[in-house]
């Protein structure tokens, strides 16, 4: 055999909570389901492509949220690809702790789990392949555990780990692995997990490892196309390529608000971008710029009106008061005295939280002094 066919994924985070991603529960609920759909799609792909090895580089599921029935569901999928050897290297979100479902549940025959945080080998004679791997079995790994690892020089060698690839000597609590270690490991393919953005890791122009990335992006920090890596790993040539599988994308866009607060203009530019990416995606629009005094942007209206799977609008606009003119009034008017006091405080304030309060106080006060109803943000 000239090589073996692998599908490299990980960071699925099945069952995860999107609380940290600031998604509302109703969207979170849908996304949780979609993670499962994507997992199914990956399995289908593995089946259709007759993949020899399904490499899951950690964070398959959430230790905290996953239930026994979820594991049954996962194994049911693995059972659909009996010809494929499934290798799992648990990550920091699904560490193989003693009470982990990795240890307390029954797993399919074709599944191999690297349960220990030291490199062990899975020899697959059939493919003349050795899969080296290690898995998280504690909550924090700060030691560069791959330091002395070196694959044996026979057959095809694959390495699996859920780790943080950092420059040599760097500190990380997420299993630091140095570029040089990867370069010198002697493996033909390093299937890594942890960095959700995904991508190839190069050392001196040479590819030394691949982060699969999250096949389904999980928050607004994970913009762009997401998927898995699939292809052939051989002793002499590796043809493993990115394959998009994500159902949706996260899109973040900045939009400069019309100073007159004309929502139609904003709506239009938002809709243009939604058209560009597609309605099925998740959008975060940041409204920026100053608006005329008295203008109150109706973001709720915008969120209601725009059609897309998920929209959030951050109103980062500010009322465009002529602060200089107001301050000039100084002590001669309440408004001047008020603005001057707050601006003075702002000048001496470095704590961003306090600054946010002071800035907001300035606009609340100015609105009120101008006899306008104070609108909440």
Partner 1 sequence: MIIKELYIKSFGRFADRSFKLGDNLNIIYGLNETGKSTLHQFLEAIFYGFVKPGVKRRVMTDQYDKYRPWTGNLYGGSLVYQIDGRLYKVERNLEKGRESVRVFDGVSGEELTGSLGYDRLRREVLFAREHLGLGQAAYKNTVSISQLGSKSDADLVREIQTRLGSLGSTRDASLSVGRAERLICEFLDGIGTERAQTKEYGRLYRKAAELEEDLEEAATAVESVRVSGRQLREMETEAAKLKAERERLERKVRACEDSTLLDRWKGIKRLMEECESLSARLEECSEYRGFDPAESGELSTLGQLADQDRRETQRLRSKVEETSRDIEEAEARIAKAKDEGLVPARSRFKAALGLCTVSAVAVLGTSLMAASSGNPSLNILLVPLIALFFYLMVRVVRQRKLLREREGALRDLVTERQYMERYRKDLLYSLSEKERDLADRQKGISEILKGAGVGSMEEFRDKTAGFERYTRLKKCLEQTEKMLEIRLDGENPAVLKESAKAIVEAAAAGGTVTSGAIGATEIPAAITASAQDRRERLAGWKKRLQQIREEEVRLLGSMEKIRGGMETLEKATSDLPDLEEDLSRARDRLRQLKLEREAAGVALETLREASDGVHREFAPALNRKVTGITSRITGGRYTDLRITTDLKILATAPETGRRVEAQVLSGGTVDQLYFALRIAASEFLSGDRKLPLILDDCFVQYDWHRLENTFAYILEEARERQIILFTCHDRERKVAEALGGVYNYLILE
Residues engaged in binding Mn ion (CB under 5 A)? 11, 59
Q: How far is the CB of 267 from partner 1 (least distance, A)?
A: 24
203 bridge partner residues: 206
231: left (phi over 0), alpha (psi -120 to 50) or beta: left
Helix (H) or strand (E) holding 369: helix 352-369
DSSP 333: S
Q: Does 300 bind partner 1 (CB under 8 A)?
A: no
Q: Which string of DSSP letters, residue by residue, matches 33-52? A: HHHHHHHHHHHHHHHHTT-S
Contact segment (CB under 8 A) with partner 1 among 26-34, 150-158, 179-187, 277-285 equals: 26-34
Q: How far is the CB of 247 from Mn ion (least distance, A)?
A: 18
Which residue's entry shows tokens 């309060």? 357
Q: Which string of DSSP letters, residue by residue, matches 143-158? A: S-TTTT----SSSEEE
Helix (H) or strand (E) holding 252: strand 250-256
Q: Does 206 bind partner 1 (CB under 8 A)?
A: no
CA 247 – CA 280 distance, rounded (Å): 8
CA distances from 295 to 20, 320, 362, 367 (A): 32, 9, 16, 10
Q: How far is the CB of 226 from partner 1 (least distance, A)?
A: 20
Contact segment (CB under 8 A) with partner 1 among 10-18, 119-127, 135-143, 159-167 equals: 10-18
Q: Does 99 bind partner 1 (CB under 8 A)?
A: yes
| Contact residue for partner 1 among 238, 295, 323, 364 (CB under 8 A) | 364
| Contact residue for partner 1 among 7, 18, 217, 308 (CB under 8 A) | 18
At residue 123, φ and ψ (nearest 5 deg) are -90, 125
Buried b (16+ CB within 10 A) or exposed e, 253-272: bebebbeebebeebeeebee
Say which entry of partner 1, Mn ion, none residue 205 contacts (CB below 5 to 8 A, set by partner kind). none
Say which entry of Mn ion, partner 1, none residue 362 contacts (CB below 5 to 8 A, set by partner kind). partner 1
Give, to the nearest 10 degrees, the angle between helix 68-79 and helix 25-48. Answer: 20
| Contact residue for partner 1 among 37, 50, 67, 109 (CB under 8 A) | 67
Q: How far is the CB of 106 from partner 1 (least distance, A)?
A: 9
Q: How far is the CB of 98 from partner 1 (least distance, A)?
A: 8
Say which entry of Mn ion, partner 1, none residue 329 contacts (CB below 5 to 8 A, set by partner kind). partner 1
Say which entry of Mn ion, partner 1, none residue 104 contacts (CB below 5 to 8 A, set by partner kind). partner 1
| C-beta of residue 192 within 8 angstroms of C-beta of residue 212 | yes
User: Binding mask 325-344 vs partner 1 (x if CB under 8 A, - otherwise)?
Assistant: ----x-xxxxx-xx--xx--
Q: How far is the CB of 345 from partner 1 (least distance, A)?
A: 8
Report the largest interatomic distance among the alpha carbons of the chain, rounded to a whole angstrom: 89
Say which entry of Mn ion, partner 1, none residue 59 contacts (CB below 5 to 8 A, set by partner kind). Mn ion
Which residue's entry shows tokens 């033909």? 188
CA distances from 349 to 213, 221, 327, 345 (A): 40, 29, 19, 6
Which residue's entry shows tokens 């191999």? 112
Cα 160 → chain centroid = 20
Q: Does 361 bind partner 1 (CB under 8 A)?
A: yes
| Contact residue for partner 1 among 65, 213, 234, 259 (CB under 8 A) | 65
Q: Does 170 bind partner 1 (CB under 8 A)?
A: no
Say which entry of partner 1, Mn ion, none residue 376 contacts (CB below 5 to 8 A, set by partner kind). partner 1
CA 193 – CA 226 distance, rounded (Å): 13
Residue nearer to Mn ion on the CB measure, 3 or 217: 217
Say which entry of partner 1, Mn ion, none residue 120 contacts (CB below 5 to 8 A, set by partner kind). none
Please report, as ranges, the residues that interact with partner 1 according to CB under 8 A.
15-20, 22-25, 28-29, 32, 64-65, 67-69, 99, 101, 104-105, 329, 331-335, 337-338, 341-342, 353, 356-362, 364-365, 367-369, 371-374, 376-377
């Amino acid at each position: 055999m000239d090589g073996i066919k692998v599908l490299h994924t990980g960071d699925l985070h099945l069952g995860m909570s999107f609380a940290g991603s600031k998604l509302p529960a109703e969207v979170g609920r849908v996304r949780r389901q979609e993670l499962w759909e994507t997992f199914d799609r990956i399995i289908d792909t593995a089946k259709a492509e007759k993949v020899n090895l399904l490499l899951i580089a950690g964070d398959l599921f959430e230790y905290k949220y996953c239930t026994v029935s979820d594991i049954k569901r996962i194994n049911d999928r693995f059972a659909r690809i009996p010809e494929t050897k499934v290798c799992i290297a648990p990550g920091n979100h699904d560490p193989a702790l003693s009470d982990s479902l990795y240890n307390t549940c029954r797993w399919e025959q074709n599944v191999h789990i690297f349960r220990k945080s030291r490199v062990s080998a899975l020899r697959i004679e059939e493919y003349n392949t050795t899969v080296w791997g290690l898995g998280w079995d504690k909550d924090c790994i700060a030691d560069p555990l791959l330091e002395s690892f070196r694959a044996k020089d026979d057959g095809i060698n694959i390495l699996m780990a859920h780790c943080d690839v950092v420059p040599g000597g760097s500190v990380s609590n997420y299993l630091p692995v140095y570029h040089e270690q990867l370069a010198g490991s002697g493996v033909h393919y390093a299937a890594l997990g942890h960095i959700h953005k995904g991508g190839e890791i190069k050392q001196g122009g040479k590819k030394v490892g691949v982060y699969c990335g999250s096949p389904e992006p999980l928050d607004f920090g994970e913009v762009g196309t997401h998927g898995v890596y699939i292809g052939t790993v051989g002793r002499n040539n590796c043809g493993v390529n990115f394959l998009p599988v994500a159902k949706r994308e996260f899109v973040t866009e900045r939009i400069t608000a019309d100073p007159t607060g004309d929502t139609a203009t904003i709506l239009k530019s938002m809709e243009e971008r939604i058209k560009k990416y597609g309605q099925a995606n998740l959008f975060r629009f940041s409204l920026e710029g100053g608006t005329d005094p008295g203008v109150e942007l109706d973001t709720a209206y915008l969120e209601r009106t725009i059609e897309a799977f998920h929209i959030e609008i951050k109103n980062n606009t500010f009322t465009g008061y002529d602060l200089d003119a107001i301050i000039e009034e100084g002590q001669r008017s309440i408004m001047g005295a008020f603005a001057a006091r707050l601006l003075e405080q702002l000048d001496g304030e470095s704590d961003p939280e306090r600054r946010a309060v002071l800035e907001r106080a300035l606009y609340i006060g100015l609105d009120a002094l101008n006899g306008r109803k104070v609108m909440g943000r």
